[in-house]
A = this chain, B = another copy of it.
């Protein structure tokens, strides 16, 4: 069975040496006053989190996959053996409250810390982690835009973990296209609404882990305009709370079935039928899409962390196996007394392992940078600083979601490959990582949708301003380190790619404006553009990590080889992974022309759009 060990050494390196997080957080009055950014406290919390996920959650990952969830008549859903007991321990230990608002019972720790917890949770058990994960999304939206009354009633329960939450967006005919949802809301005239419709793919939508479930539901209020501008967000509890906060009457929302899926078997993916269920408006009428994005942005980073987390745990296990599995002989022999050598000596195995290590460590650096920026965005006293952080968060979020989940899936596949035939056998657990990782590329907005968000919304609609700001940060790093021999080859590659990112953006931007097919030009290259952008960000982070590490190695301060590993993994990244940008530059330049094929290419008998 796979093992998981939280990568605390790397996390501390990033937190202290790359990001100087205690200082950055110390500048935020909220954390300075609460003393929640204290170095010792953060370290202690992370060590405790590591212990919890390693001992309580990782051992449940396999049973969750084997048993899955079970739907019973009447819409009752039971979770796999051990899931509820672990959840009880989790919330009783206060983990659901970690970064929540102290006003509602939260501990007020930085996002940076809770995001590291999320990575650990997902490495240990992604299906289990989705229950508190979805709750956190619901908490965020309600906290941001809910009325005082709703907040007073629901937030303490979500923070304590007594109740969990969901996001109810998708309908059978409407996934990406939320503007066409049919679930409707009727004003009851008493401050409540009657919600009717069917929602599908509702993660953690029904289960036995908590006494109540708080659904946040997108619906169209009667009389609202068509499209995304007529959608509102409603809170629909499974049980209506009594005045004393206890669980009261059962509401008209029932789980009709749960899906049989490729993976994440331990999480119940529910079909929810709302039949005049009592709901309460969250935020303003017809602002549902905006309010939903409060959940979604957090969920997108959380989904990205799933990719990161599964890459990490798959890599860890492939590494262990590669050290132990003896197969073929290498010159020089490791131990001539053995009939074969550990496969880790073969360069192609090292290539697979280093791919996992290089993407994972850069991804973690990006995710922590992003999480720290969220803290700054929320709490910095200087508005300009908040805006700067918000821009970076907006720009990096689609990259975090798509690039980390694509890489995570690929790492899971490569790590499975290291096991040879054993990787295909369920008992070894590697194939579960592949199946579990696959969903993260699809949900919370497919990775294609993320790419459109990045290129269309975050870059082009913004006139390239956010991009230029980030480019400035990179440029400054390159200039500051001119003449550094160790970094020279990386800075050269990085500088060129960053410039190329700018020129590719211009080319696409011009095409986008050139005619009625402009939107197609964006759609055609967005996925490749996001990958290119991702490499530029990872390249920058690897160069920064290499700089710090090379100084430690040079100063003789590398007792365990950690810094040497950073230097050599950076070299690998630029030698073997970063060159993907060469292919991507070519395919981005190729634009939409080769995709704008005749409809008959797809066997369509008539042109889709009449002439």
A residues with a Cβ closer than 8 A to B are 170, 173-177, 180, 200-201, 259-263, 319, 322-323, 326-328, 330-334, 339-340, 342, 344-351, 353-354, 357, 409, 413, 416-417, 420-421, 423-427, 431, 434-435, 438-439, 441-443, 446-448, 451-452, 516, 519-520, 523-524, 526-527, 560-561, 564-565, 568-569, 571-572, 574-576, 579-583, 586-587, 590, 592-598, 600-604, 608-609
A519 to chain B, nearest CB (A): 6
Given A420-B176, A443-B421, do A331 and B516 touch, yes or no (CB 8 Å)? Answer: yes
Most chain B CB neighbours (cut-off 10 Å) among A423, A424, A426: A424
Residue among A357, A409, A417 having the largest count of chain B Cβ atoms under 10 Å: A417
Contact B564 A600 (CB under 8 A): yes
Closest CB in chain B relative to A550 CB, distance in Å: 14
**Residue in B closest to A200 when the chains form the complex, CB atoms:** B421
Partner of A594, one of B263, B328, B342, B576: B576
Check B576 against A587 for contact (C-beta < 8 Å): yes
Distance in angstroms between the alpha carbons of A427 and B201 in the assembled complex: 14
A594–B579 CB distance below 8 A: no
Contact (Cβ within 8 A) B575 A326: no
Contacts A420-B446, A579-B586; is A601 near B262 (CB within 8 Å)?
A: no
Q: How distant is the Cα of A569 from the Cα of B597 in the complex, in angstroms?
A: 8
Contact across chains for B262 and A348 when beta carbons are under 8 A apart: no
Do B523 and A354 have beta carbons less than 8 Å apart? no
Nearest residue, chain B, Cβ from A425? B259
Known: A434-B438, A568-B597. A327 touches B175 (CB 8 A): yes
A439-B424 CB under 8 A given contacts A564-B598, A592-B347: yes
Known contacts A339-B180, A597-B568; is A523 also within 8 Å of B347 by CB?
A: yes
- Could you name 14 residue pairs across A and B whose Cβ atoms are closer than 8 Å? A175-B420, A259-B426, A262-B426, A262-B435, A330-B520, A334-B608, A334-B609, A344-B608, A347-B524, A348-B523, A561-B600, A575-B587, A575-B593, A580-B583
What residues on B are CB-neighbors of A263 within 8 Å?
424
Chain B residue with Cβ nearest A526: B348
Alpha-carbon distance between A446 and B576 when the two chains are bound, in angstroms: 21
Tell me whether A342 and B608 are in contact (CB under 8 A).
yes
State the CA gap A322–B599 with chains docked (Å): 13
Cα–Cα, bound, A582→B587 (Å): 11
B-chain residues with CB within 8 Å of residue A524 when the two chains form the complex: 347-348, 351
Take A597-B354, A601-B561, A602-B353 as given contacts and tell me if A431 and B262 are in contact as well, using a CB distance cutoff of 8 Å.
Answer: yes
Q: In the complex the two chains form, what is the Cα distance from A261 to B428 in whole Å?
A: 10
Report whether A568 and B177 are in contact in the complex, using a CB–CB cutoff of 8 Å.
Answer: no
Partner of A261, one of B354, B409, B424, B439: B424
Smallest CB gap from A264: residue in B: B424
A413 to B526, CA, bound (A): 18
Complex contact B421–A201 (CB within 8 A): yes
Bound complex: CA A128 to CA B205 (Å): 37
Q: A175-B327, A175-B421, A342-B608 are in contact. List 6 more A-B contacts (CB 8 A).
A: A177-B327, A261-B425, A263-B424, A417-B448, A561-B598, A579-B587
Q: Which residues of B contact A609 (CB under 8 A)?
A: 332-334, 345
Which B residue's beta carbon lies closest to that of A349?
A: B448
CA distance A424 to B435 in the complex (A): 9
